[in-house]
Structures are given as structure tokens and as C-alpha cells.
Amino acid sequence: MDKKETKLGLTAKKENFSEWFSQICSESGAQLADIRYGVQGCVVHRPWAMKILKKIYSEFEREVEADNHEPYLFPTMIPEENLVKEKEHAGFTPEVFWVETAGSQKLERRLALRPTGETQIYPMYSLWIQSHKDLPWKGYQSRITVFRNEMTTRPFLRGREFMFFETHDVFAAHNEALKQIETDMQIMDRVVKKKLKIPFVFFKRPKWDKFKGADDTFASDSLNPDGRRNQISSTHDLGQNFAKAFSIKFDAENGNKEFGFQTCFGPGIWRIMAALIATHGDDNGLILPVDFAPIQVAIVPITFANNPKSNMAVMKLCEEARQIVAKTNLKAHIDTRDESPGYKFNDWELKGVPLRIEIGPKDVEKSQVVIARRTDRKKTFAPIKELARLVVEQAIEVDKEISRRAEESFKDNTRTASTLEEAKKLLKEYKGFVKTPWCSTEMDGQKCADIMSDETQGGVVCGTPNGREEKPEGNCIICNKPAKHTVYLAKSI
């Protein structure tokens, strides 16, 4: 066997992550996204992916609703004049798709396909918000897509149309806005770090990499196995910039008209899916945490041609097992496809189902089933009478192992560079963050970032780890001026 290929024909994840990722997504992999749709950067989300994505969406919906956000849904098309109202934000227009014709009629003014929601939502906020009694105002839209004319595209990483989730909040005071940003980060911790078991670092982005129109951007980066950072969320301190551009004013308690302070939060649903695939998957396919697996226990009957009586007993035990598992609230499925057991084993491994139950004639004799874990393939013989307890126990073990592996690969993820040469070498050889002294994270530091990016073939300044910034030592590795910050560098996807 070629060492780059598993028996499934998957490229080894460590050898060529990019190739492995494409294969996992494809028809011959876990059938997540079909890129054969015919419009570049626009993919078909297939059922296995949709079921996972819906669970991810539900988690965020539950969290933001618990934080008093109300759901709404805005149109897909945005009038051009909205897009350019906030001067900095107008920088989005080169990336947008334009609708210019309806039927055979030219539209009087062209409409953009939403690249992000601010410019469609805030004009309505200026109508809805009148008084300090209306604040805080918290809204969100979920299960929508946005459109950007990206040049290079990949499923779940960068698309011309991709899945979106956004909250938009207005406060009477700036400190409340900052508190909301903390809350947003806690939501990311609970959903992504704890439930999805994806490690990441929160950064305050340098000013040149903030959201167009924001005062500050806070973003979380996970690491792909090839060492590239994957931005999986952002939450922005918009100050009063958009409030002023879109006239979001309220009657303050003191009787004055005042502009609101705004935040917006966007967990990247696609990027989180990409991180889920990249962080947990192995050379045999996806690996899904139990709560996010569309099927949690795949039951595979081992039957034999020309033995109908034995096969019937096997099927009967499969059904008995299914009912027992279903009662534990794990979702079980009996695979009755007209394929070999080996094919089915591989297929459920590819799809990342946490547990497999195998049942053959010998198991019928012994009134037992075999439980196999997706993570380490360890098998447990479970007498049918103890199945309920053992299947839950094994599911917990799979989740533990997923966490353990993810933490293992993420820990010790940061090296230190005190010269550009060191940074170059590390960004090339080492798969993680590179910590280094930097002149400034204000706009005047961008020039050094551009030089660094050229020198390192695409390195970026992720920013300073939020809440645990380190005192810089020495000088900026590019301009040699005294460093004001210790920043983290990484390659970006």
C-alpha cells in the first residue's frame, strides 16, 4: 500500500491536508459538499453536511436567544446606496454581486447580493429604535447565506456564497458594548471549544485587519493541520460609526438625542464546519463528536448468503439493539443496504459516526453485540442485557478521546521568533503560531505586516491574544523600532 493512501483511497491527512480535506468533502468521501454545481464557489450542501450544519446553527440560535436576541430575516438584495453610506464599509463594494436586470427590464438602480448584513439592518434599526427604553436592542439572523466574489474558493473555507449567522446589538453606552463582546466570546467557548471540541485562540486583530467600519475586531482562529489559521468567528466593536452613518439615535434618559453603540457577532458557520472536519478527522474519514453526529450508532448486520434462518436471527437482534440504543437517546440506524459489511464499516467510518455495532451469527448465539469506537477502533463485547449502559459509556469514551486528541494537537502550538529569519523558518517548518515583537498594531504597523507577508509567503499578523497580551521584548522584527506589542503570526488559509 502506498504510504500516502489509506485503503479507502484517502490521502493521508498529515501528508497532504489540502488534498485530504477535498476528498473528505467529495462524492467519494463523506459526501458533504458537491462542487459540480456549475457556478464557481457555489456548492451544494449534501444531506450529511446539512444535518451537521443544522445542529451547529441550532446551538448558536439557542445561545443568542438565551442572551435575549430576537430572530429576524432580511431580504437578500441591498440597494447600492446603503452599501456606501458608512465610508470605510463601502470598501466591500468591489466584492459584491450586482443584480441589474429583472426579466428583460433594466432595474432603475442596481441591487447588491448581501455581502454581510450591516447595511441592510441598520437603516431599519434607525426606524425601530427611538428611546433608551428600547435598549439594549439585540437581534440576529440565522440560516442565511452571503455572497462575495472571492477568487479562490473551497467548500467550507471560502465561497462565493456561504452560510452566515449574525447578531446586531445596540447599546446606550460603550462599556455595555464591550461586555457584549465578552458574552459573544463566551458563546464561542461554550459551543465551539466545549461542545464541538475545537480548540482556538481569541485575538484582538491589528487595526489594519479589522472589519470595515469597526473600531476594533476580535476574532478566533483555529489551526488546520497544515498550520494555517482558520478564522472561525469575529465580534466587532462598531463604536458609533454605523450609528452615525445610519442615524441610529435614541432619546436618552437625560433628554438628549444620542447615537447608539453597536456590536455585531458572526460565528462563521462554514468555517466552524471546516474546523470540525480538519481538527477531528483522520485517515479513515470524518470523526464527529457524539452531539453533532446525524447518526450516533450505526448497526451493521453481518449476514451470509444462503443462510436465511441465521440472517433472520441477526436482523432480529439488530432491531432489538436498535430499540435499546434508541431508549438511551442515542440515534441508531440499522444499515440494511445491499452491500458487504466491510463496505459499510468503511462508509460509516468515512462519515464519522462515533459508534458502530456489529452483529453476526456468533453474537446471536452469545446474546451479545460488538461495539466499535470510531476514534481508536477499540471493540467492546456487550451482552445485550448490558447494552444500554455500555453504549452510553462508549459514546462518552469517544467524546473524551476526541477532546484529548484535539487538545494534544493544539497544545504547545506557539513558537517564539526574535528575528525575521527565525519567523520565516518557523512559518515554513512549524505548524502553528509564531510569537514575535512588533512595532505597532495601529495602522502604522501595517507596512511591517506587508513586508513580513511578502518575506514569509503569506504570513499574517493574527493580533494579540485577547486578555492575555504579553509584554514585548526587543524590537520589531521588521522595522527594528521598539516593539509595543507581542503579536502572533501565522499562515492563513
Binding site residues, its own copies, CB under 8 A: 34, 36-39, 42-47, 50-51, 54, 70-79, 82, 93-105, 110-111, 113, 120, 123-124, 127, 133, 139, 143, 145, 147, 149, 161, 338
End-to-end CA distance of the chain: 31
Residue 134: partners with Cβ closer than 8 Å, 6 or more residues away: 128, 250
Nearer Cβ to its own copies, position 41 or 239? 41
Distance CA 163, CA 370 (A): 39
Q: CB 301 → its own copies: shortest distance, Å?
A: 17
Task: Select 39 or 305, whichever has its Cβ closest to its own copies.
Answer: 39
Give whichever of 1 and 39 is closer to its own copies, judged by the CB atom.
39
Which amino acid, one-letter code, is at 440? S
Burial class (CB within 10 angstroms; exposed 0-12, middle 13-18, buried 19+) of 396: exposed
75 versus 255: smaller Cβ distance to its own copies: 75
Distances (CA, A) of 56 to 274, 294, 326: 12, 12, 22
Measured distance CA(392)–CA(382) in Å, rounded: 12
CA distance 386 to 394: 12
C-alpha cell at 199: 480548540
The nearest distance, CB 255 to its own copies, in angstroms, is: 17
CB 285 within 8 A of CB 352: yes
Question: What's the grid cell of residue 408?
Answer: 494534544
Least distance CB 67 / its own copies (angstroms): 14
Query: Closest separation between CB of residue 161 and its own copies, Å?
Result: 5
The H-or-E segment that residue 297 falls in is strand 297-301
Q: Is 68 exposed, middle or buried (0-12, 13-18, 19+ CB in 10 A)?
A: exposed
Least distance from C-beta 177 to its own copies, angstroms?
21
CA distance 434 to 488: 5
Q: What cell numbers appear for 152 in the block? A: 479562490
DSSP letter (8 states) at residue 432: S
Whole-number Å distance between alpha carbons of 298 and 350: 12
Q: How far is the CB of 110 from its own copies (least distance, A)?
A: 8
Q: How far apart are CA 217 and CA 389, in angstroms?
A: 46
Contact indicator for 162, 53 with CB cutoff of 8 Å: no
CB of 78 to its own copies, least distance (A): 8
Alpha helices, DSSP H only, in 197-307?
Answer: 241-246, 269-280
Residue 61 burial (10 A CB sphere; 0-12, 13-18, 19+): middle
Helix H or strand E segment including 242: helix 241-246
| Shortest distance in whole angstroms from residue 342 CB to its own copies | 18
Minimum separation from the CB atom of position 350 to its own copies (A): 17
Q: Which is nearer to its own copies, 120 or 220 (CB)?
A: 120
Q: Which helix (H) or strand (E) holds 365?
A: helix 361-366
In angstroms, give the least distance from the CB of 260 to its own copies: 18
Cβ–Cβ under 8 Å, residues 445 and 462: no
CB of 242 to its own copies, least distance (A): 17
